[in-house]
Amino acid sequence: MVRYIVKRLGTSLIVVIGISIVVFVLLHFMAGAPGRSVLGPTASADAVAAFNREHGFDQPLVVQYLSYVSEVLRGNLGQSFKLNQSVSDLLSDNAGRSAMLSLAALVLAVIIAIPLGTYQATKRNSASDTALTGVTFLLYASPQFFIALLAIEIFSIKLGIFPSQASQSNSPFVIFTDPVAMALPVLTLAASNIAVFARYQRSSTLDQLGQDYIKVARAKGVSERGIIRNHLVRNSSLPLITLIGVSVPSLLAGNLIVESVFNYPGLGLLFINSLQREDYPVLLAYTLIGGVLTVLGTLIADVVLAAADPRIKLS
Protein backbone atom coordinates (compact mmCIF):
# COMPACT_ATOMS: atom_id res chain seq x y z
CA MET A 1 0.00 0.00 0.00
CA VAL A 2 2.73 2.44 1.00
CA ARG A 3 4.65 1.58 -2.15
CA TYR A 4 1.55 2.16 -4.22
CA ILE A 5 0.99 5.56 -2.64
CA VAL A 6 4.62 6.56 -3.16
CA LYS A 7 4.46 5.50 -6.79
CA ARG A 8 1.22 7.39 -7.39
CA LEU A 9 2.73 10.45 -5.68
CA GLY A 10 5.71 10.26 -8.04
CA THR A 11 3.62 10.15 -11.22
CA SER A 12 1.36 12.90 -9.88
CA LEU A 13 4.38 15.07 -9.25
CA ILE A 14 5.53 14.62 -12.85
CA VAL A 15 2.07 15.55 -14.11
CA VAL A 16 2.00 18.64 -11.86
CA ILE A 17 5.39 19.77 -13.21
CA GLY A 18 4.09 19.23 -16.74
CA ILE A 19 0.95 21.24 -15.99
CA SER A 20 3.01 24.12 -14.63
CA ILE A 21 5.17 24.21 -17.78
CA VAL A 22 2.23 24.04 -20.20
CA VAL A 23 0.14 26.63 -18.35
CA PHE A 24 3.09 28.97 -17.83
CA VAL A 25 4.12 28.87 -21.48
CA LEU A 26 0.53 29.29 -22.65
CA LEU A 27 -0.07 32.29 -20.40
CA HIS A 28 3.27 33.75 -21.46
CA PHE A 29 2.15 33.76 -25.08
CA MET A 30 -1.31 35.06 -24.20
CA ALA A 31 -0.18 37.84 -21.86
CA GLY A 32 3.24 38.84 -23.11
CA ALA A 33 5.34 41.13 -20.94
CA PRO A 34 2.96 43.08 -18.68
CA GLY A 35 4.77 46.43 -18.94
CA ARG A 36 2.51 47.92 -21.62
CA SER A 37 -0.75 46.87 -19.99
CA VAL A 38 0.38 48.06 -16.55
CA LEU A 39 1.71 51.46 -17.60
CA GLY A 40 -1.00 52.15 -20.14
CA PRO A 41 -1.02 53.04 -23.85
CA THR A 42 0.47 56.50 -23.31
CA ALA A 43 3.64 55.30 -21.53
CA SER A 44 6.88 55.66 -23.48
CA ALA A 45 8.57 52.60 -24.94
CA ASP A 46 11.56 53.25 -22.65
CA ALA A 47 9.39 53.22 -19.54
CA VAL A 48 7.73 49.97 -20.63
CA ALA A 49 11.11 48.38 -21.31
CA ALA A 50 12.41 49.61 -17.96
CA PHE A 51 9.40 48.16 -16.14
CA ASN A 52 9.79 44.80 -17.85
CA ARG A 53 13.53 44.74 -17.09
CA GLU A 54 12.96 45.65 -13.45
CA HIS A 55 10.48 42.79 -12.96
CA GLY A 56 12.52 40.29 -14.94
CA PHE A 57 10.10 40.01 -17.85
CA ASP A 58 12.90 40.51 -20.38
CA GLN A 59 14.64 37.30 -19.29
CA PRO A 60 14.47 34.13 -21.40
CA LEU A 61 11.30 32.08 -20.86
CA VAL A 62 13.16 29.29 -19.05
CA VAL A 63 14.62 31.72 -16.52
CA GLN A 64 11.22 33.34 -15.97
CA TYR A 65 9.63 29.92 -15.46
CA LEU A 66 12.25 28.78 -12.98
CA SER A 67 12.05 31.98 -10.96
CA TYR A 68 8.23 31.75 -10.96
CA VAL A 69 8.37 28.17 -9.71
CA SER A 70 10.86 29.02 -6.98
CA GLU A 71 8.60 31.87 -5.86
CA VAL A 72 5.52 29.62 -5.93
CA LEU A 73 7.32 27.05 -3.78
CA ARG A 74 7.90 29.79 -1.24
CA GLY A 75 4.17 30.56 -1.27
CA ASN A 76 4.39 33.65 -3.47
CA LEU A 77 2.05 33.35 -6.45
CA GLY A 78 3.06 36.64 -8.01
CA GLN A 79 1.64 40.12 -8.04
CA SER A 80 -1.59 41.38 -9.54
CA PHE A 81 -0.46 44.61 -11.16
CA LYS A 82 -4.04 45.60 -11.90
CA LEU A 83 -5.09 45.44 -8.26
CA ASN A 84 -1.64 46.07 -6.79
CA GLN A 85 -2.15 43.15 -4.46
CA SER A 86 -0.39 39.84 -4.04
CA VAL A 87 -2.09 37.00 -5.89
CA SER A 88 -1.75 34.74 -2.84
CA ASP A 89 -3.76 37.19 -0.74
CA LEU A 90 -6.42 37.57 -3.42
CA LEU A 91 -6.85 33.84 -3.80
CA SER A 92 -6.78 33.01 -0.09
CA ASP A 93 -9.40 35.71 0.56
CA ASN A 94 -11.81 33.88 -1.73
CA ALA A 95 -10.74 30.24 -1.50
CA GLY A 96 -12.69 29.39 1.65
CA ARG A 97 -16.00 30.57 0.26
CA SER A 98 -15.55 28.65 -3.00
CA ALA A 99 -14.42 25.52 -1.19
CA MET A 100 -17.44 25.56 1.10
CA LEU A 101 -19.80 26.11 -1.83
CA SER A 102 -18.28 23.19 -3.78
CA LEU A 103 -18.20 20.94 -0.73
CA ALA A 104 -21.83 21.64 0.15
CA ALA A 105 -22.91 20.97 -3.44
CA LEU A 106 -20.82 17.79 -3.61
CA VAL A 107 -22.18 16.41 -0.33
CA LEU A 108 -25.73 17.24 -1.37
CA ALA A 109 -25.23 15.59 -4.76
CA VAL A 110 -23.86 12.39 -3.21
CA ILE A 111 -26.59 12.23 -0.56
CA ILE A 112 -29.27 12.50 -3.24
CA ALA A 113 -27.61 10.52 -6.03
CA ILE A 114 -26.77 7.31 -4.12
CA PRO A 115 -30.32 6.55 -2.97
CA LEU A 116 -31.70 7.76 -6.30
CA GLY A 117 -29.44 5.57 -8.43
CA THR A 118 -29.89 2.57 -6.12
CA TYR A 119 -33.66 2.97 -6.22
CA GLN A 120 -33.61 3.17 -10.02
CA ALA A 121 -31.48 0.05 -10.31
CA THR A 122 -33.60 -2.03 -7.93
CA LYS A 123 -36.73 -0.92 -9.80
CA ARG A 124 -35.07 -1.09 -13.20
CA ASN A 125 -37.17 -0.63 -16.31
CA SER A 126 -40.19 0.36 -14.24
CA ALA A 127 -42.10 3.51 -15.06
CA SER A 128 -40.47 5.41 -12.21
CA ASP A 129 -36.98 4.32 -13.30
CA THR A 130 -37.65 5.44 -16.86
CA ALA A 131 -39.04 8.77 -15.69
CA LEU A 132 -36.06 9.38 -13.39
CA THR A 133 -33.63 8.39 -16.16
CA GLY A 134 -35.35 10.96 -18.35
CA VAL A 135 -35.00 13.63 -15.71
CA THR A 136 -31.31 12.92 -15.09
CA PHE A 137 -30.67 12.83 -18.83
CA LEU A 138 -32.36 16.20 -19.24
CA LEU A 139 -30.43 17.68 -16.32
CA TYR A 140 -27.25 16.30 -17.80
CA ALA A 141 -27.89 18.03 -21.12
CA SER A 142 -28.79 21.36 -19.54
CA PRO A 143 -26.09 23.99 -19.25
CA GLN A 144 -25.55 25.01 -15.65
CA PHE A 145 -26.37 28.64 -16.35
CA PHE A 146 -29.76 27.62 -17.74
CA ILE A 147 -30.46 25.54 -14.63
CA ALA A 148 -29.47 28.57 -12.56
CA LEU A 149 -31.83 30.84 -14.52
CA LEU A 150 -34.71 28.39 -14.15
CA ALA A 151 -34.01 28.14 -10.43
CA ILE A 152 -34.08 31.93 -10.12
CA GLU A 153 -37.29 32.15 -12.16
CA ILE A 154 -39.07 29.50 -10.11
CA PHE A 155 -37.77 29.89 -6.56
CA SER A 156 -36.98 33.55 -6.48
CA ILE A 157 -39.28 35.38 -8.90
CA LYS A 158 -42.40 33.17 -8.91
CA LEU A 159 -42.34 31.66 -5.43
CA GLY A 160 -40.19 34.22 -3.65
CA ILE A 161 -38.64 31.61 -1.34
CA PHE A 162 -34.95 32.19 -2.01
CA PRO A 163 -33.13 35.39 -3.04
CA SER A 164 -31.68 35.52 -6.56
CA GLN A 165 -28.33 36.76 -5.31
CA ALA A 166 -26.00 34.76 -3.08
CA SER A 167 -24.93 36.07 0.29
CA GLN A 168 -22.28 38.78 0.00
CA SER A 169 -20.82 37.97 3.39
CA ASN A 170 -17.06 37.61 3.74
CA SER A 171 -17.28 34.53 5.91
CA PRO A 172 -16.51 31.17 4.32
CA PHE A 173 -19.13 29.63 6.62
CA VAL A 174 -21.94 31.68 5.16
CA ILE A 175 -23.61 28.45 4.05
CA PHE A 176 -24.35 27.73 7.71
CA THR A 177 -25.04 31.26 8.84
CA ASP A 178 -27.22 32.27 5.89
CA PRO A 179 -28.48 29.07 4.27
CA VAL A 180 -31.48 30.76 2.63
CA ALA A 181 -29.27 33.05 0.58
CA MET A 182 -27.01 30.15 -0.41
CA ALA A 183 -29.76 27.68 -1.32
CA LEU A 184 -29.95 28.43 -5.03
CA PRO A 185 -26.19 28.44 -5.74
CA VAL A 186 -25.73 25.14 -3.88
CA LEU A 187 -28.77 23.54 -5.52
CA THR A 188 -27.70 24.64 -9.01
CA LEU A 189 -24.17 23.39 -8.55
CA ALA A 190 -25.46 20.12 -7.10
CA ALA A 191 -28.06 19.55 -9.84
CA SER A 192 -25.65 18.70 -12.69
CA ASN A 193 -23.61 16.46 -10.41
CA ILE A 194 -26.72 14.64 -9.21
CA ALA A 195 -27.47 13.77 -12.82
CA VAL A 196 -23.97 12.37 -13.43
CA PHE A 197 -23.64 10.58 -10.10
CA ALA A 198 -27.13 9.04 -10.19
CA ARG A 199 -26.64 7.60 -13.68
CA TYR A 200 -23.35 6.15 -12.56
CA GLN A 201 -24.74 4.77 -9.33
CA ARG A 202 -27.58 3.16 -11.26
CA SER A 203 -25.31 1.33 -13.67
CA SER A 204 -22.86 0.26 -10.98
CA THR A 205 -25.73 -1.07 -8.84
CA LEU A 206 -27.04 -2.99 -11.84
CA ASP A 207 -23.58 -4.56 -12.17
CA GLN A 208 -23.59 -5.57 -8.50
CA LEU A 209 -27.11 -7.01 -8.59
CA GLY A 210 -25.94 -9.80 -10.85
CA GLN A 211 -23.15 -10.86 -8.47
CA ASP A 212 -23.12 -14.12 -6.55
CA TYR A 213 -22.99 -12.56 -3.10
CA ILE A 214 -26.39 -10.99 -3.69
CA LYS A 215 -27.80 -14.40 -4.65
CA VAL A 216 -26.21 -15.93 -1.55
CA ALA A 217 -27.71 -13.23 0.64
CA ARG A 218 -31.11 -13.83 -0.91
CA ALA A 219 -30.75 -17.58 -0.43
CA LYS A 220 -29.89 -16.99 3.22
CA GLY A 221 -33.24 -15.27 3.53
CA VAL A 222 -32.00 -11.70 3.93
CA SER A 223 -34.82 -9.29 3.15
CA GLU A 224 -34.60 -7.16 0.00
CA ARG A 225 -34.23 -4.08 2.15
CA GLY A 226 -31.44 -5.76 4.13
CA ILE A 227 -29.68 -6.70 0.92
CA ILE A 228 -29.82 -3.16 -0.34
CA ARG A 229 -28.73 -1.62 2.95
CA ASN A 230 -26.07 -4.08 4.09
CA HIS A 231 -24.67 -5.48 0.87
CA LEU A 232 -25.54 -3.53 -2.21
CA VAL A 233 -25.03 0.14 -1.44
CA ARG A 234 -21.64 -0.33 0.12
CA ASN A 235 -20.24 -2.15 -2.91
CA SER A 236 -22.02 -0.20 -5.60
CA SER A 237 -20.95 3.17 -4.17
CA LEU A 238 -17.25 2.34 -4.38
CA PRO A 239 -16.88 3.37 -8.04
CA LEU A 240 -18.49 6.68 -7.13
CA ILE A 241 -15.33 7.53 -5.14
CA THR A 242 -13.41 7.58 -8.42
CA LEU A 243 -16.07 9.61 -10.12
CA ILE A 244 -16.02 12.23 -7.35
CA GLY A 245 -12.23 12.34 -7.63
CA VAL A 246 -12.28 13.07 -11.34
CA SER A 247 -15.15 15.55 -11.09
CA VAL A 248 -12.87 18.29 -9.73
CA PRO A 249 -12.58 20.07 -13.12
CA SER A 250 -16.33 20.12 -13.61
CA LEU A 251 -16.79 21.39 -10.05
CA LEU A 252 -14.31 24.19 -10.75
CA ALA A 253 -16.08 25.07 -14.00
CA GLY A 254 -19.41 24.91 -12.19
CA ASN A 255 -18.12 27.29 -9.55
CA LEU A 256 -17.16 29.71 -12.29
CA ILE A 257 -20.67 29.76 -13.73
CA VAL A 258 -22.66 29.59 -10.50
CA GLU A 259 -20.60 32.26 -8.75
CA SER A 260 -20.94 34.52 -11.76
CA VAL A 261 -24.73 34.05 -12.08
CA PHE A 262 -25.42 34.46 -8.35
CA ASN A 263 -22.69 37.06 -7.84
CA TYR A 264 -21.05 35.02 -5.07
CA PRO A 265 -17.63 36.42 -4.17
CA GLY A 266 -15.42 33.34 -4.58
CA LEU A 267 -12.56 32.18 -6.77
CA GLY A 268 -14.84 31.69 -9.79
CA LEU A 269 -16.05 35.27 -9.70
CA LEU A 270 -12.48 36.45 -9.12
CA PHE A 271 -11.43 34.51 -12.23
CA ILE A 272 -14.19 36.07 -14.36
CA ASN A 273 -13.34 39.56 -13.11
CA SER A 274 -9.65 38.94 -13.73
CA LEU A 275 -10.47 37.90 -17.31
CA GLN A 276 -12.22 41.20 -17.85
CA ARG A 277 -9.29 43.08 -16.27
CA GLU A 278 -6.84 40.93 -18.28
CA ASP A 279 -5.13 40.34 -14.96
CA TYR A 280 -2.94 37.46 -16.13
CA PRO A 281 -0.98 36.73 -12.92
CA VAL A 282 -4.27 35.87 -11.18
CA LEU A 283 -5.44 33.78 -14.14
CA LEU A 284 -2.11 31.93 -14.22
CA ALA A 285 -2.17 31.16 -10.51
CA TYR A 286 -5.78 29.97 -10.41
CA THR A 287 -5.39 27.81 -13.53
CA LEU A 288 -2.32 26.20 -11.96
CA ILE A 289 -4.20 25.60 -8.72
CA GLY A 290 -7.07 24.11 -10.72
CA GLY A 291 -4.66 21.70 -12.39
CA VAL A 292 -3.09 20.71 -9.08
CA LEU A 293 -6.53 20.18 -7.51
CA THR A 294 -7.50 17.98 -10.44
CA VAL A 295 -4.41 15.82 -9.98
CA LEU A 296 -5.01 15.70 -6.21
CA GLY A 297 -8.63 14.66 -6.75
CA THR A 298 -7.64 11.71 -8.92
CA LEU A 299 -4.80 10.77 -6.58
CA ILE A 300 -6.95 10.82 -3.44
CA ALA A 301 -9.72 8.90 -5.20
CA ASP A 302 -7.28 6.20 -6.32
CA VAL A 303 -5.76 5.83 -2.86
CA VAL A 304 -9.12 5.82 -1.08
CA LEU A 305 -10.50 3.31 -3.54
CA ALA A 306 -7.45 1.07 -3.15
CA ALA A 307 -7.87 1.23 0.61
CA ALA A 308 -11.63 0.65 0.49
CA ASP A 309 -11.71 -2.12 -2.10
CA PRO A 310 -9.47 -5.07 -1.26
CA ARG A 311 -10.05 -6.58 -4.71
CA ILE A 312 -7.94 -3.94 -6.40
CA LYS A 313 -4.49 -5.16 -7.27
CA LEU A 314 -1.88 -2.51 -6.69
CA SER A 315 0.28 -2.74 -9.74
Positions touching another protein (CB under 8 A) are 11, 14-15, 18-19, 22-23, 26-27, 30, 125, 130, 137-138, 140-146, 149-150, 152-153, 157, 196, 200, 203-204, 206-208, 210-211, 238-239, 242-243, 246-247, 249, 252-253, 256-257, 260, 271-272, 275-276, 278, 280, 283, 286-287, 290-291, 294-295, 298, 301-302, 305, 311-313
Q: What are phi and psi of 187, to 5 degrees?
A: -60, -45
71/237 Cα distance (integer angstroms) = 41
27/64 Cα distance (integer angstroms) = 12
Q: Which is nearer to another protein, 30 or 180 (CB)?
A: 30
225/239 Cα distance (integer angstroms) = 21
Shortest distance (Å) from residue 86 CB to another protein = 20
Shortest distance (Å) from residue 214 CB to another protein = 12
Shortest distance (Å) from residue 188 CB to another protein = 13
198/116 Cα distance (integer angstroms) = 6
Shortest distance (Å) from residue 292 CB to another protein = 8
Q: Which is nearer to another protein, 85 or 142 (CB)?
A: 142
CB atoms within 10 A of CB 20: 19
What one-character-per-residue DSSP string does 264-309 give?
--SHHHHHHHHHHHT-HHHHHHHHHHHHHHHHHHHHHHHHHHHHH-
Shortest distance (Å) from residue 165 CB to another protein = 12
Q: Which is nearer to another protein, 111 or 314 (CB)?
A: 314
